Structure 1
Amino acid sequence: MNRVLGVRRHPLKSAAAEHVAAAFVGKHGLDGDRTWTCLDADGTIGSAKQPRLWQTLLAVRAEFATDTGDVHITVPGREPAAAGSPEADDAVSAWLGRPVTLTRKPPTELKRHHWWPDEPGMIPDWARDKEPGGDDVVAARHDAEGGRFFDYGAIHLVTTGALERLSARHGSQVDPARFRPNLILDLPADPEPGQRIAIGADTVLEVAIPTPRCVIPSLAHGDAPADRALLKTLAAHRRVDVPAFGRATCFGFYAEVRAVGAVAVGDTVTVSG
């Protein structure tokens, strides 16, 4: 029987994942997921898609309190501090080496820095005019109704079948943390766009598109060290058609929420459609 193997949320965009046993999935995604971001002095928001500026943020922990909605930030070597407090801003700024502010409110012009990987095949068709190895400032997304700093879909998922095949091609086990999913599903393969995934008693998701990948999977994530060669493996074996966009190197998939409900590790998973 197919089941949920992991539930993860990211209360602070581009910070480390919070591993939880269960979470509520509302129409905008997991409660507390990607509700905060870092605002840099140049007005852009924080994203490890530009590792020169933000890769150390991946070592910062953020925890969402389900009873109050508060988020607490823990920088290595520091005591936890509430997101939105001067203490949290000071701790994250010191860790990054420049002044930043944690915020739930997007700036008027929402942008972020992006580094285009120089590994052949890692630039998607819709950005074919970009220079490999080049830095860029691009538009960022914000779900205003839900207050989320999402890149695309409300939920991001990976499957054990896809991870096993990628690991075999890469020659070593690939940690799912590199892809920053919300849910890890014990399925033999990724479902196709348009298919529905029923989880537990109530939750229903609908697959949207495969997830285009950037440099982030190759960076260090907790116990998973930096692995630049992973980009080569992804580009060689995971370049696919993204509906309505073109070809891109992808891993995992985005889904939209069709029926809300709780999800927990061990819940049954059924794919249909």
Structure 2
Amino acid sequence: MGTVTALYRYPVKSMLGEAVIAVAVTESGFSGDRGYAVLDETGAVGSAKHPRKWGPLLRCRSRLDDSGAVRVVLPDGTALPVEDPELDERLSKLLGRQVFLSAAVPEHNRLERAVPEYEGGVPDAVRESASVDAAGENITTGSVAPGTFFDFGQVHLVTTASLARMREVYPAGDFDARRFRPNLVVDTDAGPGFPEDAWPGSRLRVGEALFRVVVPTPRCVIPTLGHDELPPDPGIMRAVARDHRIPVFDLGRLSCLGVYLNVLEAGTVRVGDTLTLQKAA
């Protein structure tokens, strides 16, 4: 039903990641994906979902070197291993407050999200509970998935068909897949549309790995921000909100693009691997 066209992993949460040709999929997701995060002394997990507070993280890039160790490339091009104390100092200067890199998820962590103005950016009930923080941003506060730095699912998939549909809806927008921070980009051999909407509950065989499709991916403000050479574009998510608001659990109709997957069987996935969808019984 399709093929893998790109693979990405993000060793440090909310930093730019790296494209890979092949990746080992473990029971916990892509090997090396979001193994670290930047934290502050309040227990907040660094996420560009709160751009005023954490947006500069998107100017940094995280990658695995040949030995499998994680290195961070700072905006000035300096590359430092995650264990280097200088990296915490440099990140603190970049963000304007004391922060540190960690592989340990705080028990009482906080994940802050800016509340977008458009409908479907957050559930209505959550919007009503939002508050203005010290950065002057209207935010909601939740937590990361237990024991991980993932927002929800272990793996995030985006289809080329959905991106093509959004280019039709908003031709001025640059719907580069990297804006949506996927792990898997797949070509479903279909015309523009949202084929993945029908997948939740199904199993998806990709290369050697087997996944369960869990839920459509509700989108935050991150796709509207600048990513590497991709400029900011606030119209990106407004277009998604106009064209593709769909039910997510009991949270109402949310702006979605892509799906979250959980791992059922580990294995290697490579660019060019085929996809096979096994419908839920």
> Does 2:176 align with 1:175?
yes
Structure 1 residues 22 and 143: alpha-carbon distance in aligned structure 2, compared to 1, 3 A threshold: farther
Look up the match of 1:140. 143
Structure 1 residues 64 and 112: alpha-carbon distance in aligned structure 2, compared to 1, 3 A threshold: same
Structure 1 residues 156 and 85: alpha-carbon distance in aligned structure 2, compared to 1, 3 A threshold: same
* Other structure's SS at 1:3 match: strand
Q: Percent identity?
A: 36
In structure 1, stretches of 5+ residues that fail to align are none
Distance 2:277 2:169 in 1: 26
Which of 202, 227, 242 is 1:195 aligned to?
202
Deviation at 1:125, TM superposition (A): 4.0
Structure 1 residues 177 and 35: alpha-carbon distance in aligned structure 2, compared to 1, 3 A threshold: same
User: What is the CA deviation profile of residues 185-220 of structure 1, one whole-angstrom value per residue up to 9, with x for unaligned ones?
Assistant: 1113225201221112x2111110001111111111
Summarize the alignment of residues 1-273 of structure 1 with structure 2, pairs less than 5 Å apart.
Answer: 2-65=2-65, 67-68=67-68, 70-131=69-130, 135-136=138-139, 138-144=141-147, 148-172=148-172, 173-187=174-188, 188=190, 189-190=195-196, 191-200=198-207, 202-273=208-279
Q: Is the 8 A contact 2:120 2:253 kept in 1?
A: no
User: What is the CA deviation profile of residues 113-132 of structure 1, one whole-angstrom value per residue up to 9, with x for unaligned ones?
Assistant: 22101123322245242459
Deviation at 1:94, TM superposition (A): 2.3
Matched letter for residue 198 of structure 1:
R
* Other structure's SS at 2:128 match: coil
Q: Is the 8 A contact 1:113 1:135 kept in 2?
A: no
Matched letter for residue 263 of structure 1:
V
Deviation at 1:67, TM superposition (A): 4.1
Distance 1:12 1:176 in 2: 19
Matched letter for residue 86 of structure 2:
E
Task: Choose 165-174 or 16-25, whichever is displaced more.
Answer: 165-174
User: What is the CA deviation profile of residues 95-116 of structure 1, one whole-angstrom value per residue up to 9, with x for unaligned ones?
Assistant: 2232210001122311022210
Q: Is the 8 A contact 2:34 2:150 kept in 1?
A: yes
Structure 1 residues 171 and 251: alpha-carbon distance in aligned structure 2, compared to 1, 3 A threshold: same
Superposition RMSD in Å: 1.9
* Other structure's SS at 1:232 match: helix
* Other structure's SS at 1:210 match: strand
* Other structure's SS at 1:270 match: strand
Task: Choose 27-36 or 102-111, whichever is displaced more.
Answer: 102-111
Task: Choose 125-134 or 223-232, whichever is displaced more.
Answer: 125-134
* Other structure's SS at 1:109 match: coil
Deviation at 1:39, TM superposition (A): 0.9
Distance 1:49 1:210 in 2: 18
In structure 2, stretches of 5+ residues that fail to align are none
User: What is the CA deviation profile of residues 150-170 of structure 1, one whole-angstrom value per residue up to 9, with x for unaligned ones?
Assistant: 000010000000110011101
Structure 2-normalised TM-score? 0.89
